[in-house]
Amino acid sequence: MMTEQQTSTNLSNTKLAMWVFLGSECLLFGGLISTYLLYKTRGNGRTLPAEVFDIPFTSVSSFVLLMSSLTMVLALSAVSQDNREAGRVWLLATALLGALFIGGQVYEFTAFVREGVGFTTSPASSAFFALTGFHGVHVSLGIIMLMSLFIISVKGNLTQRNAETVEVVGLYWHFVDIVWVFIFTVIYLIPVE
Amino acid sequence: MTNKHTDQPTGEVENTATNAAGVGIGTSTAADSTAAADVNATATGSSTTDNDSATDTVSDNSANTTGKDVVERPLGVFTRPEGGRGWRDWLSTVDHKKIGILYGVSAMFFFLVGGVEALLIRLQLAAPNGSVLSADVYNQVYTMHGVTMVFLFIMPLAAAFANYFIPLQIGARDVAFPRLNALSFWIWLSGAIFLNTSWIVGGGGADCGWFCYSPNSGVAFSPSHGVDFYAVGLQILGIASLVSAVNLIVTCLNMRAPGMTLMRMPILTWMLLITQFLLLFALPVITVALFLLMFDRLFGAQFFNPDAGADPLLWQHLFWIFGHPEVYIIILPSFGIISEVIPAFSRKPIFGYQFMVASGIAIGFMGWGVWAHHMFVSGIGPLSVAAFSLSTMFIAVPTGVKVLNWLATMWDGKLRFTVAMKFAVATVAMFTIGGLSGVTHSVAPANTQQTDTYYIVAHFHYVIFGGGVLGMFAGIYYWWPKIWGYLLNERLGNWHFWIMLVGFNLTFGPMHILGLQGMSRRIDTYATGYGFEAWNMVSTVGSFLIAFAVLLFLLNVWKSKRGSPYLQPPGPDPWDARTLEWMIPSPPPVHNFDTIPSVHTRDEWWHRKYAENEQGEVVSVVTAEEAAQTGDAKGVHLPSPSFWPLAVAVGFPLIGYGIIFNLWLALVGGLIVLTSLYSWAMEPADNPDTQHDDHDHLQHDDDNAHTEDHDNQDSQDSASESPDDNKDNKQLTVA
Ligand code: HEM
Ligand SMILES: [Cu+2]
């Protein structure tokens, strides 16, 4: 079983690598969040993103994303117990919840554009779309990974032995969720001015 | 024991097969780590083999080929542990040593490119009213000179050392993710080529200076595609460095030989590890900046458009939050190198190992708190100026600790002034000059006068050329025999050294004066009558001396190589050195170590050769030749070569061109990347074999058995290899 290799730290290479990588990701989002915070009131004389936020809607989609973390946990525990059927279901559920979130984001973006807040409108809007779009790309990559796991599982190749792979994908997924919690609080909930 | 030996290959086959099940993208890494797993498994496995039990391993092989469900693996196992030859091998290699060489050779190529650009600058400035370059081209040339030297020369050269020596110094068979390692290199190379193609297809190089301040970098002031290539190219290079940073961090933390605790790691490995952490955290910040710049220029975003209310300081902050750690990314590898070279040629352990490590870590942390010293005149406010002024003065302290430690290492040592040592000592001296002028910049009022003058140009060249490049040359001369199996000629090396040192000081020394006289940095020419003429001419002459010294180096490589068949080969340990890479043959066999060494002390290799007698004198116990491994272990299991890393990397420049010129091309590039990643994930890290799930537990047990076995073996190991290394754990100070 690949989790049991001898390493100097007793952490598997893959898991350690994911942790290290996520450390780097923190600064990536840190940079984008700071950019937004610096620019959130610079509307170029046009509507600010904060003025068109639909908090109830985004709350719901945030909740959806949070739930996907729960299903991710369930997926991992199912795979580690070699409950392949359940593992498959929860992986799919996680990916679908993620996709629902992305769908919400696409809807939100189009709604904003209709209300006159586009990517090129102002420093504030550019920063908003860059940050949330970047996060959306991260979620989408996560969905691709989950679907890959799902397909492998359908082919019958996802066994207890791969639990660590699921765990590593899970790490990534939880990270992306936590980042969203942060974005949601700092960007959406804290009022501008 | 024999039993286990025959089991082992089968076990590995199963282990591989398990992962042949391969998982999607997320597991491209997971599958890769299988290779590492095998490397590891083998490591433990074969440490049960003594040097002289080659017969044992041979029987391994026969078991392997006759075993009933073992499929032929022409690539998976190099039966004779020498890699293939020819270009195919280089394109598909996952061997950290070859990848290190690829990095080194490409870096040297770009050193020549950046050097030619430097000479163009100096030709233009040799005399007043120079007309070699137009003002526009001059802007491009100095920008591309800076970018090339930093991102395409010194960083990849450091990566070369990191790739080659981290695994050797910690006693590993390879890095944690061999294929990701290849990926890093190929992405880096594709980014480097991409960046330079802007001369041809981008309407010229970037012309915004290497730190590319906004709004100067906007389309309005820089209408050619140069800056686009800068923004996209550096992102590609950043991905390469990020992948490699993750890989090397995991390698350092996870792949250490038994007994190689963190505080026994050689200083070079330590400094490289710190460098990788700096890269890990600094790269995302510049990536954000470049990403925003790209969207501004190509897709009409408003991040850096002051007319729309954007803040030009945003770029400066993001850039320098990356940029100052970058300075340490450049210098720490060189510090690491000379911390190996100086002890070796002083016949003393490094003075104050703990302080060396601690000051490295301190620099790594403090490096994040000084960035705004690049912005004292940007209007960041008196409080910020004061704070950053102070923090900058403080960071000189750990740096000073290092300098003192090197001096103390040499103090009272048996010094041997080989070319490598000369370069190392020159590094200390030149870096100290650069460091001191750096402290003068930290005094904000003085900085106001000095900034953007040639005084700054003088300062940072003393630091990066004097401290960085000279140190790298020390490393090149020192490890050349290890890498290539022959020594560089010392006589030519001496010429190289002295001419380079003199040329360096002639080039950059006078720039201090020019700067204080008021000559601006980045001006394409100057009028007569300011008193700039003489020193500029001296500087230009100096730069050609440097160029000549570089040619001498290349000549030295060529002549030494040609002469090497007629000379005695250097053997495993020509300098009587201290760290593990010297206990294996030169050049090292593909599998690095026949037997993974057990480490009992810092400077393990030295302590295997020497011990202290009753009078406290250091006496030789065995010769290096006797103690060294022979490199002829057979059947060592290694990760298979793969073309996919190269294939993935090919997609990146296409995405780059696509973003700049036509998004369809980006789509093609993206598809290439994706399909290659998938094929990669589906291709097991080792050649595919049978899939028998029921053997997995066997493998598992087997693994444990080996571990236990290994523990027992430790004592025997040391008994057979170095009878004395248990009793001399204390540091030797006299030699
Ligand atoms: C052959 C030796 C070299 C010579 C003669 C040389 C010369 C110069 C000169 C004259 C400038 C100032 C251009 C201007 O301000 O108009 C410059 C800038 C620069 N050099 Fe070098 N250099 C050399 C090697 C290096 C090396 C080895 C590095 C780094 C590893 C380096 C990094 C830089 C950087 C970052 C800049 C700043 C570019 C900018 O202003 O944007 N140089 N160099
Ligand atoms: Cu700095």
In a domain, B734, yes or no: no
User: Which residue of A lies nearest to B171 if distances are taken between CA atoms?
Assistant: A8
**What is the count of structural domains for chain B?**
2
Q: Which of A57-61, A120-124, B26-30, B572-576 has the lowest mean pLDDT?
A: B26-30
Tokens of A42: 């610079």
CATH number at residue B548: 1.20.210.10
- Fold classified for A8-40+54-189: Four Helix Bundle (Hemerythrin (Met), subunit A) (1.20.120)
Give A108→chain B minimum CA distance, Å.
19
SS3 of residue B557 by DSSP: helix
B235 plus B383 within the same structural domain:
yes
Q: Are B474 and B418 found together in one domain? A: yes
User: What's the mean pLDDT in A136-152?
Assistant: 95
Q: Residues B372, B281: one domain?
A: yes
d(CA B499, CA B550): 9
Same domain, B84 and B163: no
- C-alpha separations of A80 from A83, A168, B31, B695 in Å: 7, 13, 18, 19
Q: Are residues B392 and B471 in the same domain?
A: yes
Annotate B478-490 with three-state secondary structure: HHHHHHHCCCCCH
By C-alpha distance, the chain B residue nearest A4 is: B700
**Do B259 and B272 have their domain in common?**
yes
Indicate the pLDDT class of residue B640, thresholds 50, 70 and 90. confident
- What is the model's pLDDT at position B11? 30
Average model confidence (pLDDT) across chain B = 84
Q: Does B529 touch chain A (CB under 8 A)?
A: no
pLDDT (tens digit per residue) in B440-482:
999 999 999 999 999 999 999 999 999 999 999 999 999 999 9
Residues 6+ apart with CB under 8 A from A65: A97, A98, A101, A139, A177, A180
Least confident of A36-45, B77-86, B152-161: B77-86
Residue B116's identity, in one-letter code, is: V
Mean per-residue pLDDT over chain A, rounded: 93
Q: Which residues of B touch A20 (CB under 8 A)?
A: 245-246, 249-250, 280
**Ligand 1: which residues within 6 Å by Cβ?**
B 115, 118, 121-122, 142-143, 145-146, 149-150, 153-154, 209-210, 457, 461, 464-465, 468-469, 507, 521-522, 543, 546
CA atoms of B100 and B248, how far apart (whole Å): 12
B245 interfacial to chain A (CB closer than 8 Å) = yes
Structure tokens at B345: 């040629």
For B692-698, the CB contacts below 8 A with 24+ separation are B692/B14, B692/B17, B692/B69, B693/A159, B693/B18, B695/B10, B695/B11, B695/B14, B696/A1, B696/A161, B696/B14, B696/B15, B696/B18, B698/B7, B698/B11, B698/B14
Chain A nearest CA to B539, separation (Å): 40
Distance from CA of A189 to the nearest CA of B (A): 23
Nearest to B34 by CA among B643, B597, B638, B704: B638
CA–CA distance, B287 with A25 (Å, rounded to integer): 11
Interface test with B, best of A1, A3, A4, A6 (most B CBs within 10 A): A6
**Band of pLDDT at residue B84, cut at 50, 70 and 90:** low
Per-residue pLDDT of B276-315, as tens digits, reads 999 999 999 999 999 999 999 999 999 999 999 999 999 9
Cis peptide leading into B587, omega within 30 of 0? Answer: yes
Report residue B726's pLDDT band, with 50, 70 and 90 as the boundaries.
Answer: very low
DSSP count for chain B of H helices, then E strands: 25, 2
Range of the domain at B670: 2-89+629-647+666-715
Q: What angle do CA B282, B285, B286 make, to 5 degrees?
A: 95
Q: Check whether A177 has a pLDDT greater than 60.
A: yes
B441 is a domain residue: yes
Contact B193, B364 (CB under 8 A): no
More confident position, B42 or A49:
A49
pLDDT at B65 over 50: no
Q: For the residues B59-88, what does the mean pLDDT come to?
A: 40
Question: CB–CB of A24 and B299 under 8 A?
Answer: no
Residue located nearest, by CA, to atom 4 of ligand 1: B118
Instruction: Check if the interface score ipTM surpasses 0.90.
Output: yes
pLDDT at B647 over 80: yes
Q: Give the residue-averaged pLDDT of B56-81.
A: 33
Q: How far is CA B198 from the centre of its chain?
A: 26
| Per-domain residue ranges of chain A | 8-40+54-189
Taking an 8 Å cut-off on Cβ atoms, the answer to whether A17 and B177 are in contact is: yes
Instruction: Give the least confident one: B166-180, B245-259, B630-644.
Output: B630-644
Residue B549 shares a structural domain with residue B561: yes
Q: Are B340 and B605 in contact (CB under 8 A)?
A: no
Confidence band of B153 (pLDDT split at 50, 70, 90): very high
For residue B209, report the phi and psi dihedrals to the nearest 5 degrees: 80, 155
Asked whether residue B622 is assigned to any structural domain, the reply reads no
Are B324 and B181 members of one domain?
A: yes
CA distance B37 to chain A (A): 6
Tell me which ligand sits closest to the C-alpha of residue B331: 1
What's the CA gap between B710 and B42, in Å, rounded?
11
User: Considering CB atoms only, which of A4, A21, A38 is closest to B703?
Assistant: A4
Q: How confident is the model at residue B379 (pLDDT cuts 50, 70, 90)?
A: confident
- CB contact under 8 Å between A148 and B291, yes or no, is no
Omega before residue B215 within 30° of 0, cis = yes
What's the token pair of residue B681? 């994930």
Which of the four pLDDT bands, split at 50, 70 and 90, describes residue B613? confident
Give the mean pLDDT of B126-154: 97
Domain finish residue from B534, B566, B598: B566
pLDDT digits (tens, 9 = 90+) for A116-138: 999 999 999 999 999 999 999 99
Q: How confident is the model at residue B687 (pLDDT cuts 50, 70, 90)?
A: low
CA of B145 to the centre of ligand 1 (A): 6
> What's the pLDDT band for B683 if we cut at 50, 70, 90?
confident
Q: Which two tokens stand for residue B223?
A: 């209408």
> Tell me, what's the pLDDT at B96?
97
| pLDDT grade for B110, boundaries at 50, 70 and 90 | very high
- Any A CB within 8 A of B256 CB: yes
Interface of A with B in 126-185 (CB under 8 A): 126-127, 130, 141, 144-145, 147-149, 151-152, 157-159, 161-162, 164-165, 168-169, 172
Test the A interface: residue of B15, B19, B25, B307 with most A CBs within 10 Å: B25
B260 contacts A16? CB cut-off 8 A: no
Query: Which residue from A minimizes the CA distance to B176?
Result: A13
**Per-residue pLDDT tens digits for B22-64:** 333 333 333 344 344 334 333 333 333 333 333 333 333 333 3
pLDDT tens-place string over residues B415-448: 999 999 999 999 999 999 999 999 999 999 999 9
- Contact with chain B for residue A84, Cβ under 8 A: no
Hey, what are B288's tokens?
Answer: 């954000």
* B137 and B120 housed in the same domain: yes
**Cβ–Cβ below 8 Å for B308 and A122:** yes
Task: Identify the pLDDT of residue A191.
Answer: 84
Indicate the top mutation candidate among B145, B152, B499 to test ligand 1's pocket, ranked by most ligand atoms within 8 A of CB: B145
Based on the domain organization, do B445 and B401 belong to the same domain? yes
Centre of ligand 2 from the C-alpha of residue B323, in Å: 7
Is the same domain home to B60 and B38?
yes
Q: How many angstroms is it from B141 CA to the middle of ligand 1?
A: 10
What whole-number distance in Å separates Cα of residue A66 and Cα of residue A127?
24
B494-503 pLDDT tens trace: 999 999 999 9
In order, the DSSP letters of B627-675 are HS--S-----B-PPP-SHHHHHHHHHHHHHHHHHH-HHHHHHHHHHHHH
Report whether B728 contacts B612 (CB < 8 A).
yes
Write out pLDDT tens, residues B503-543: 999 999 999 999 999 999 999 999 999 999 999 999 999 99
Residue B88 pLDDT class (50, 70, 90 cuts): confident
| Minimum-distance ligand 1 atom for the alpha carbon of B454 | 15
Q: Are residues B53 and B104 both part of a single domain?
A: no
Provide the pLDDT confidence category of residue B685 given band limits of 50, 70 and 90.
low
- Ligand positioned closest to the Cα atom of B525: 1
- Provide, as residue numbers in chain B, all residues whose Cβ is less than 8 Å from the Cβ of A121: 302
